[in-house]
């Protein structure tokens, strides 16, 4: 399993949270500046062990665990939605 952040995450809206990053012992979660105090919450699938520690601490249930082999498909569909 691999963790995935959904659009429900509040960091890209300028709300400081980062609880998932604090819970991740594998240092798999990064926050990339987007300007204006907003950040993109990114999970490195190479570092994520699928332990699930980041999911219950999220106040808006923005993290889901998906099978590693499904991640590329899910991300591909999300990308199509952004570009169409
Ligand atoms: S599932 Fe575990 S290793 Fe993966 S991002 Fe969440 S806390 Fe980190
Ligand atoms: S805990 Fe949830 S809302 Fe907070 S930064 Fe992580 S994914 Fe976003």
**The total number of structural domains that make up the chain:** 1
Instruction: Give the Å distance between the CA of 38 and the centre of ligand 2.
Output: 12
Ligand 2: list residues with CB < 6 Å.
5, 9-11, 17-20, 41, 57-60, 62-63
Which pLDDT tens digit goes with each residue over 24-38? 999 999 999 999 999
CATH number at residue 61: 3.30.70.20
Element housing 69 (H / E): helix 68-83
Reported as a single tens digit per residue, the pLDDT across 39-79 is 999 999 999 999 999 999 999 999 999 988 777 777 777 77
Sign of CA pseudo-dihedral 49, 55, 29, 24: negative
The pTM for the full model equals 0.87
User: What residues make up the domain containing 60?
Assistant: 2-83
């Amino acid at each position: 399993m691999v963790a995935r952040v959904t659009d429900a995450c509040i960091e890209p809206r300028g709300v400081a949270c980062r609880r998932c990053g604090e819970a991740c012992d594998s240092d798999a979660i990064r926050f990339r500046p987007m300007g204006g105090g907003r950040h993109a919450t990114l999970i490195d699938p190479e570092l994520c062990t699928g332990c699930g520690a980041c999911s219950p601490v999220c106040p808006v249930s923005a993290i889901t665990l998906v099978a590693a082999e499904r991640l590329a498909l899910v991300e591909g569909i999300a990308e199509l939605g952004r570009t169409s």
